[in-house]
Amino acid sequence: MANRYIWDNNICLDLLLYRYQSNTEIALLYQLCIDKSIEIYLSSSQLQAIQYVYFSKSKDDGTTKENASKIWDTFVSKIVIVKTPSYIDFTNDLAISDIEDYVITLSAETIGAKIITGDKQFLKHSPITLTTQQAIDEIKKTETKQIAFLDLEKINFSYKTEIEKGIDRVVKRGWYLLGNEVKAFDTNYAQYIGTKHSIGVANGLDALRLILAAYIEMGVLTPGDEVIVPANTYIASILAISDNKLVPILVEPQLETYQIDDTKIEQAITAKTKAIMIVHLYGQCAYTETIAQLCKKHSLKLIEDNAQAHGCMFDKRKTGSLGDAAGHSFYPGKNLGAFGDAGAVTTNDGALADMVRTLANYGSHKKYVFDHRGVNSRLDEIQATVLTAKLSHLDNDTQKRKDIARYYIEHIKNFEITLPIITDWDAHVFHIFPIRCSRRDELQKYLLEKGIQTLIHYPIPPHKQGCYKEWNNDSYPITEQIHFQELSLPMSQVLHKDEMEKIVKTINSFK
Ligand SMILES: Cc1ncc(COP(=O)(O)O)c(C=O)c1O
């Protein structure tokens, strides 16, 4: 959890009234917060009192209204306001003794913050208060402890205001499924990806499953048909195929790119092959002109698994718009992540879009009329509002991921480590930053001992899993090598420069 501090009214007023010039503690605290990128948090309940006292006192000090307003505007542009929750317990001791301090404490608890105050009573009654000097000492001591692989709380915290607004809207409306938020997200996401349709569904696995089920329902595919899929992917790509009683045909990836090897696809095509599912693994584009040509030549449907690659480009087009249909996952840890499970299907095919929408809603296109045997797989209004809020920041977040990837690539210098080779920076959104090392497990242990958390994507290849026993004796040497050597470094838009430097330094010291 990041260091967060709510500044009590008296501390804010010290800052606002420039008393800090003669108060070294406030000056030091303010400077430390700037140096360490620590925000000044305020409960919305504090604002009115601070504003009132500030303008009264500045008038008494002889500050003109115009100058006072300028200072106030600068102040509000620098603070982060957090909500005052509605769950006030009027029997709480602090609420009885000082409701104002109690409400600030509640706000602080919602964001895991401490409160910096000069109020002796507040310091005495609340365990989460600190004096200015105590805060200074604590902040000075703060150094990066454990570097998390992915700090989801920190990521989502940066969108909290928009998300809070959206959730309040949903709660007020009292309409939780198949409503305006989902409609808006479907429209926004289709526009973002560059397809005519986007259909929100319950998760990424369902998105892929529903595309194939819809093709079966439309007579385009028949159970028993073969679907080509990369051998190194997350299990969901393959489950979506076998769940529909279609036959997954595994094709090896290229070691250098981790993506399906397009030179090995044609030899896997038989009379029963009806589709190719490409997976933009780790956030890198797997689509090639060769694959497109093969689909044309053999009349195959091209399905994209875009679970890991929101915003990734091929030429001027986004992945998710390159084939006949694409499945997207908004699992919380994805580049565009919801507050739970969520997914979408994108396509330009209106008939397919209608069928996916119908199948995802019990097979019903009209209330209580069921023409197909469907499932219940719908995106809900809360997830849709979270996704709409985050979608507007996605490109910015992706750029931060690219900057981190570039830093890793330019600074990691250890001959035992194989770094990703990037030829087109538009064609990667770095959902994962994969490195390879023949002593991967040792490296992972070494990094953890130094406080750096990493993950493996993925430790066991699909053909060695218990759910596909029939493949357990098959050999996919490149896939196996990747699964044996791959290690994913911390990667997210909230990774700090200090953390990146520590990661690089530690990897470079691994012998
Ligand atoms: C490549 C790939 N395909 C499909 C999925 C399935 O998505 P979900 O977890 O939303 O069902 C995932 C995500 O976990 C994935 O990484």
pLDDT tens string for the chain (511 positions)?
568 999 999 999 998 987 667 667 888 898 889 888 899 999 999 999 999 999 999 999 899 999 999 999 999 999 999 999 999 999 999 999 999 999 999 999 999 999 999 999 999 989 999 999 999 999 988 766 789 999 999 999 999 999 999 999 999 999 999 999 999 999 999 999 999 999 999 999 999 999 999 999 999 999 999 999 999 999 999 999 999 999 999 999 999 999 999 999 999 999 999 999 999 999 999 999 999 999 999 999 999 999 999 999 999 999 999 999 999 999 999 999 999 999 999 999 999 999 999 999 999 999 999 999 999 999 999 999 999 999 999 999 999 999 999 999 999 999 999 999 999 999 999 999 999 999 999 999 999 999 999 999 999 999 999 999 999 999 999 999 999 999 999 999 999 999 999 999 999 999 9
The neighbouring-strand residues paired with 284 are 428
Span(s) in the chain for CATH 3.40.50.1010 = 5-142
Would you say the CB of residue 336 lies under 6 angstroms from ligand 1? Answer: no
Q: What's the rounded Cα separation, in Å, for the pair 244 and 277?
A: 14
Is residue 38 within 8 A of residue 3, CB to CB? The reply is yes
Would you say the CB of residue 308 lies under 6 angstroms from ligand 1? Answer: yes
Would you say the CB of residue 305 lies under 6 angstroms from ligand 1? Answer: yes
Span(s) in the chain for CATH 3.90.1150.10 = 394-508
| Domain 5-142 CATH superfamily | 5'-nuclease (3.40.50.1010)
Would you say the CB of residue 307 lies under 6 angstroms from ligand 1? Answer: yes
Nearest residue to 479 (alpha-carbon basis) of 299, 266, 310, 232? 232
Would you say the CB of residue 279 lies under 6 angstroms from ligand 1? Answer: yes
DSSP state of 36: T
Q: Give all strands (DSSP E) within 330-448, no chain letters.
A: 343-347, 364-366, 369-370, 433-436
The letter for the amino acid at 34 is I
Tell me if the domain spanning 394-508 has CATH number 3.50.50.60: no
Q: Cα(236) to centroid of ligand 1, in Å?
A: 6
Residue ID of nearest Cα to ligand 1 atom 12? 307
Would you say the CB of residue 233 lies under 6 angstroms from ligand 1? Answer: yes
Would you say the CB of residue 205 lies under 6 angstroms from ligand 1? Answer: yes
DSSP state of 253: B
Would you say the CB of residue 335 lies under 6 angstroms from ligand 1? Answer: no
Span(s) in the chain for CATH 3.40.640.10 = 160-391
Would you say the CB of residue 343 lies under 6 angstroms from ligand 1? Answer: yes
**Which tokens is 429 given?**
């959104």
**Strand 40-43, strand 301-305: pairing:** unpaired
**Atom of ligand 1 at shortest range from CA of 341:** 10
Residue ID of nearest Cα to ligand 1 atom 8? 204
Q: Residue 51: in which H helix or E strand, if any?
A: helix 47-60
Is residue 201 within 8 A of residue 345, CB to CB? The reply is yes
Q: What's the rounded Cα separation, in Å, for the pair 146 and 154?
A: 14
Is residue 149 within 8 A of residue 490, CB to CB? The reply is yes
Phi-psi category of residue 414: left, alpha or beta, with phi > 0 → left and psi -120 to 50 → alpha = beta
Phi, psi of 189 (to 5 degrees): -75, -40
Would you say the CB of residue 329 lies under 6 angstroms from ligand 1? Answer: yes
Residue ID of nearest Cα to ligand 1 atom 4? 236
CATH topology of domain 160-391: Aspartate Aminotransferase; domain 2 (3.40.640)
**Atom of ligand 1 at shortest range from CA of 208:** 4
pTM as predicted: 0.94
Best residue for ligand 1 mutational test, from 279, 331, 383, 458 (most atoms within 8 Å of Cβ): 331
Q: Cα(106) to centroid of ligand 1, in Å?
A: 37
* Residues in CB range of 161: below 8 A, 6 or more apart: 81
